[in-house]
Amino acid sequence: MNILITGTAGFIGFHLVKYFSKYNDRLVGLDSINDYYSVGLKQDRLGDCGINAASIEYGKLTKSSTLPNYSFIKLDLEDTEKLNELFETEKFDVVIHLAAQAGVRYSLENPKSYISSNIDGFINILEGCRNFKVPKLIYASSSSVYGISDKPLLSVTDTVDKPISLYAATKKANELMAYTYSHLYGFQTIGLRFFTVYGPWGRPDMAPFLFADSICNGKTIKVFNEGKMKRDFTFINDIVVGIRKINDVSLEEKYLIYNMGNNSPVKLNDFIVCLEKEFGVEVDKQLVGMQPGDVVETWADIKELADAIGYKPNTTIENGVEQFVAWYKAYYNVSI
């Protein structure tokens, strides 16, 4: 197949390219390489996939030097003209759309960037699939669409009309937009509500990375809700294996939404303990209250996805943190 993956300088997109490259598909990766967080980290992810940052030209495909079937293009999702040119030229069989302005807290500070990337960019992806006859679109939604819920276990059948951050609102809007396009134009859309994905090459603005940085630099960790927050920490390998199965399996319904999580919530305090064990130090903690836009507990009911593709995450929190810390130490040349 000919597959477009957006967000390939990002965390999940990078790992997806690495995993999908084991197959015989032709892969095109797309990213704007914005500066929401370290551009250097994004360029290193690209470099690990054989894309030399110095050779990248906006709007032009760059072939990987290490992955024979992979090419990368730097492109803004809002650039309708060049995005349409890409769709017309490449004739994709599947689009896996992961690119977005991420982060709950940042949406409180810079709301317009979320509308531009997550709404305008998404409509351009939908229009590309519509106009150039792409039969399947797999796209990233988020567990944040559930908002504040009094249910510990979150199901795709739950009502999700009370998002408590603009980021969550844009992801819910994506799901509604996808439904409309599936209904009107007949191509399949599959939304994946990711639950707290972590692992090597992760995002620096997320808790595992922030905690690791504080541990290595002897800083105090700010622990929200006194560490009583529960998250369904999902290791990156379980995510990419699941996406591959969704890509390969033929599903009848035109519009689908699935939770993609670990189905096993972990207290933030317990996650920190795993980090301390791998780094071999005990970190100083500042226990603070809840942040605006956050929820106490998110826990994925993955029954629908398990029934559809046999999805079964199998990475324990101990093993996942071990792999993350090993990468972190090597990447940043840390010795503790």
- Determine contact, residues 64/76, Cβ cutoff 8 Å: no
DSSP symbols for 29-66: EEE---SSS-HHHHHHHHHHTT--GGG--TTSEEE-SS
- Residue 319 CA: distances (Å) to CA of 199, 225, 279: 10, 25, 14
Name which of 45, 27, 34 is nearest 95 in CA terms. 27
Distance CA 288, CA 229 (A): 11
Phi, psi (deg, nearest 5) at residue 254: -80, -30
**Is residue 255 flagged as an active site residue?**
no
Name which of 177, 190, 193 is nearest 308 in CA terms. 190
The residue from 70, 114, 146, 167 that is catalytic is 167
DSSP symbols for 150-165: S-SSB-TTS-----SS
Looking at the annotation, which residues are catalytic?
A: 167
